[in-house]
Amino acid sequence: MIPRNLDPFNLMPPAIDVRQARKHYGQLQALDGVDLRIEQGEFFGLLGPNGAGKTTLINLLAGLALPDGGQLSVLGHDVVKHYRASRRVLGVVPQELAFDPFFTVRETLRLQSGFFGLRHNDTWINEIMHHLDLTSKADTNMRRLSGGMKRRVLVAQALVHKPPVIVLDEPTAGVDVELRQSLWRFIQQLNRDGHTILLTTHYLEEAEALCTRIAMLKHGRIVALDSTQNLLSSLAGCRVRLKLAGCLPAALLPHVVEQTDSDYLLTLPTYQALESVLAELRMAGVAVQEMTLQQPDLEEVFLRLVGRAVQ
């Protein structure tokens, strides 16, 4: 199914087009020939462990760093040759909490509007503050805000010029559940209204729930790029969690991925293999007290493809 606002004939430029992007810092190759095309209207996830190159790619798209090779464009605007045009159609929520301590929330958003030549932007600023639960903090100095509130202001700053393409770099890192939920409701509404969303996150359940397509980065290269459903379907088999009245037979230990006392989590190649597990338990005289079947999730896909734990 073609997502809403996508062009089946590719007549519109992609929201983000990256071709053989390369970037190195000294001896470190941060990006090593990345190709990525994100269509208009997509909710796209970019995943990878720390140091994989996610933030470097975002910095290149935002014009905060220059590529050493390749080409990057936003809505058809080359990020190097047409920096001003590409920056106008892009809103970036950075990972770091950077703010000016001398302004209130409203003044910060008005100042950000001015960077894009926008005057009399208060109606939209008020709407953003309402959706991000910032209205009560509108006249509060930035340095008096909590970390979660400062992160809300970063999101608001990225949206003041109504960019059609929005990049979120770890937007919910270290924030409470209430903010996370309200932020995602707002971002999902923006996506339904036609905005393209590019999300990086270490909360893989967020990516699984929100993103229609996902790319996984490792050592500056894309190691997987597919729809979320196809990535989940690529893992055959299942997981089964067992609480036993005794020890797991030695023959089943190779299947164990997690153990806590008499609680075992096993990965099985097929659902049919579950019968063999139960047969081994019966032969060993070990009773099953509780059993839960689990479908593979995005974290398991991530760990298999990227080969290291989420940080």
| pLDDT tens figures, 85-95 | 999 999 999 88
102 secondary structure, DSSP code: T
Q: Is 236-295 in CATH node 3.30.70?
A: yes
- 220-247 average pLDDT score: 83
Q: Given pLDDT bands bounded at 50, 70 and 90, which one contains residue 156?
A: very high
Q: Is 80 exceeded by the pLDDT of residue 276?
A: yes
CB atoms within 10 A of CB 201: 21
The pLDDT, as a whole number, for residue 278 is 93
The pLDDT, as a whole number, for residue 8 is 53
Separation of alpha carbons 16 and 59, rounded Å: 13
Q: Is 90 exceeded by the pLDDT of residue 269?
A: no
Q: Is 90 exceeded by the pLDDT of residue 64?
A: yes
Give the global pTM: 0.76
The pLDDT, as a whole number, for residue 76 is 95
Q: Which residues pair with 140 in a beta bridge?
A: none
Delimit the CATH 3.30.70 region(s) of the chain. 236-295
CATH T-level assignment (fold) for domain 16-231: Rossmann fold (3.40.50)
The pLDDT, as a whole number, for residue 296 is 64
Separation of alpha carbons 131 and 138, rounded Å: 13
Helix (H, G, I), strand (E, B) or coil at 231: helix
pLDDT tens digits, one per residue of 203-231 = 888 888 899 999 999 899 998 888 888 87
pLDDT tens digits, one per residue of 3-40 = 444 455 556 899 999 999 999 999 899 999 999 999 99
- 87-114 average pLDDT score: 91
What average pLDDT does the chain have?
Answer: 87
Q: Given pLDDT bands bounded at 50, 70 and 90, which one contains residue 297?
A: low
Separation of alpha carbons 56 and 38, rounded Å: 17
Nearest CA among 176, 128, 122 for reference residue 153: 128
Q: Given pLDDT bands bounded at 50, 70 and 90, which one contains residue 309?
A: very low
| Residue reference for tokens 């063999």 | 276
Delimit the CATH 3.40.50.300 region(s) of the chain. 16-231
Query: Six-digit token pair at 191?
Result: 């996506």
Q: Is 60 exceeded by the pLDDT of residue 310?
A: no
213 secondary structure, DSSP code: E
Q: Given pLDDT bands bounded at 50, 70 and 90, which one contains residue 273?
A: confident
Give Cα separations from 17 to 74, 76, 119 (angstroms): 7, 8, 31
The pLDDT, as a whole number, for residue 305 is 67
- 258-273 average pLDDT score: 86
Q: Given pLDDT bands bounded at 50, 70 and 90, which one contains residue 119?
A: confident
Nearest CA among 152, 143, 215, 223 for reference residue 186: 152
